[in-house]
Amino acid sequence: MANNKRKCFTCDREKNTYTCEGCSKRFCFIHIPEHHQRLNEELHHIVDNYNEFKERINKQKKSSQNYSLIQQIDRWEEVSIEKIKQKAKDCRKMVIGSLQTYINDIETKFNNLNKQIQQLQIQNDFNEINLIYLRNQLRTITEELNNPLNISIPEDPQSFINEISIILSKKPKFNKWKQDAIIVAGGNGEGEKLNQLYHPEGIFIDKQKNIFIADRFNHRIVEWKYNAKEGQTVAGGNELGNRMDQLNYPTDIIVDQQNYSIIIADWQNRRVIQWLNQKQQILINNIDCSRLAMDEYGFLYANDYKKNEVRRWKMGEYNEGIVVAGGNGQGNQLNQLNSPTFIFVDEHQSVYVSDGSNHRVMKWRKDATEGRIVAGGNGKGRNLNQLSSPEGLIVDNFGRIYISDFGNHRIVRWCEQKEEGEVVVGGNGEGIQLNSPGGLSFDDEGNLYIGNYINHRITKFEIILLLVGYFCLEKKYQDIMLADFRAFCANDNKRLVNFWNELNDLANEKINEKQRTSSNDN
């Protein structure tokens, strides 16, 4: 008689078994209910986590902190309005007082003249000299009356009101990256072959994860397609020179993803040039520019490391531009820069500048007359409150500042109003992972890309997603859940970020709770 019995996954005995469609394992009649019960328990774990998450969201909606923050804003509004009213009252009083004094002075002179005229009339003793004197006095008073007091109301750009702003500072969530780098471009030694780079600097990652690189010493811009083994030249590459089709040590690039034109800081040619379909146009000439940026409104920003300034241009109107940072000579004062390098511009048109030789990062708000130190500024060094010749610079949506700490061979993250930063990757001295990092960029998934100037390559550090809620599931179900969730959030990056942030908070609480329980049991 044929034996169709198979081993049960649970009891390891040969019995009539039934396959679970989910995990593809076989269970006997006795143990398949147990397996189903375990699946129910796993589902309950997910439901419990969901309910906790929902309860937490509801608590945040009703949070008393929200009311407290609104009260702070209301109080600032009251104090500011009171200051404005008092200032207006003082100025009004000064204007009225000055005008009254002016009129009273003329009236006094006029009355004195009238008394002199009456005195002469009473005495009936006067001659031509007296008449000339009276006539001159009357003319003087009349001219003074016809020439009113000159009162102007200049506006002081230095506000007497303490400005406030809203800084959203949440505990970092996507805050860890795998420390083993993946080489995504170059890595075959210095050289001019298409699988090589030679001191790469500025990098740009497009939405398809293609990498555009300012291949400085090869005098070209190369594009490495996603997962490609070599790049292709998209600008320059015709040896060093100053012809329109040549570049001379290019150091930075911007890619317009609408028309795929490339804007290049052509360093040694002292120009900013645009390439579009192999046609070139000089946008800015006679500028010692090594770094570029563009804001969401289409304004172009360029540093001038010799003039120690950053200027802004409206696309299509390339005149002298407007100074938006520095421009007050070389120095370390708050209105000065010293060899500015990389630039980042946020949605409010605040300009962040890696102030290289001052070993700090400065933030210049729009129309400000001086900047504010937001990273470093404590001299050159490797302590967490110091930087060493900062280069690449990016600010995320939460206001966290990521910096290529060139001299310390590390990437650091600073939060505004914090006294020190934290190391994200590197920090172990020169090595194969990082050696003099320059250009810095993120892709849409949050993976970190770094230009390794000395190692002649671009490396990628993959982000670590701290997942929770499904940690009780088997690997197969974890994959299904994650795939479903990614599909759910595919068209809404903000939804993805916000949801994972909340899940990470919950995960940390769960992990801490589990650790506390284990400690108590021991």
Give residue-wise pLDDT tens across range 4-21.
688 888 888 888 888 888
pLDDT of residue 388: 96
Nearest to 221, CA basis, from 194, 242, 259, 183: 194
The runs of H, that is alpha helices, within 62-191 are: 64-123, 128-146
- The tokens for 334 are 């708050």
Six token digits for residue 508: 């940390």
CB neighbours of 397 closer than 8 A, spacing ≥ 6?
A: 497
Q: What is the pTM of this model?
A: 0.63
pLDDT average per 10 residues of sequence, the chain (522 residues): 74 87 84 86 81 76 68 86 85 83 82 82 79 79 74 67 58 68 94 96 93 97 95 95 96 87 96 92 95 93 97 86 96 97 95 98 95 96 96 90 95 91 85 84 90 94 63 45 50 51 56 58 57
Encoded tokens for 128: 């031509």
- The residues, any chain, with a CB within 8 Å of residue 208's CB and separated by 6 or more, are 226
User: What does the pLDDT read at residue 472?
Assistant: 41
pLDDT at 434: 86
CA atoms of 191 and 214, how far apart (whole Å): 14
